[in-house]
């Protein structure tokens, strides 16, 4: 039986033939590997690294509204609404305004006017499928700048939400 007859009988891969074929193309394989490596290195050195920082905010749990409810007890709630229901509605509305302000281009413009170091930081606030939690993501070219932005912007927007 010849080698070709054996090969057609078992339809397997002949490792010796494969190794010989690769060896004959060794220069092409080496050039392709070197070219790919150089392209990857060139790309990695030419791209500016970006860093992201993220935070998650959620509304306070309902059992933490006792102090607020006590403070509002002297005020009249909406007709037929309990004080606790009024407090929960107020907290929910305030949280919604906070999220709206976080995404506001006007608030961001005002923040950037006061904090010019953060102008290059990209920011996104997004809600999940449910109303809470809200994910805040800041992306910049310096790792500490992205984190500092979230802290400063959240503080700024919180004050703007309370006092506007």
The tokens for 34 are 């070197």
- Classify the phi-psi angles of 61: left when phi > 0, otherwise alpha if psi is within -120 to 50, otherwise beta: beta
Q: Half-sphere exposure of 95 toward its Cβ, with a 13 Å CA cutoff?
A: 16
pLDDT by residue for the chain (164 residues), tens digit each? 555 555 555 567 888 999 999 999 999 999 999 999 999 999 999 988 889 999 998 877 766 655 555 555 545 455 556 666 776 777 778 888 888 999 999 999 999 999 988 988 999 988 877 666 889 999 998 888 999 999 999 999 989 888 86
Domain spanning 51-163, CATH class: alpha beta
CA distance 103 to 125: 6
User: Nearest 5 degrees, angle CA 15-CA 17-CA 19?
Assistant: 65
Instruction: Give residue limits of the domains in the chain.
Output: 3-46, 51-163
CA distance 139 to 122: 5
């Amino acid at each position: 039986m010849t080698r070709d007859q054996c090969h057609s009988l078992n339809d397997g891969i002949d490792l010796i033939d494969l190794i010989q074929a690769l060896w004959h193309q060794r220069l092409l394989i080496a050039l392709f590997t070197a070219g790919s490596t150089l392209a990857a290195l060139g790309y990695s050195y030419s791209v500016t690294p970006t860093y992201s920082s993220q935070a998650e905010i959620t509304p306070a749990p309902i059992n933490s509204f006792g102090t607020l409810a006590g403070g509002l007890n002297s005020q009249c709630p909406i007709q037929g609404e309990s004080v606790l229901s009024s407090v929960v509605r107020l907290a929910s509305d305030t949280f919604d305004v906070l999220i709206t302000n976080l995404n506001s281009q006007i608030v961001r413009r005002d923040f950037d006017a006061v904090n010019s170091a953060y102008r290059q930081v990209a920011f996104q606030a997004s809600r999940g499928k449910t109303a809470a939690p809200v994910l805040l993501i800041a992306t910049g070219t310096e790792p500490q700048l992205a984190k500092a932005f979230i802290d400063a912007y959240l503080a700024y927007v919180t004050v703007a939400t309370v006092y506007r």
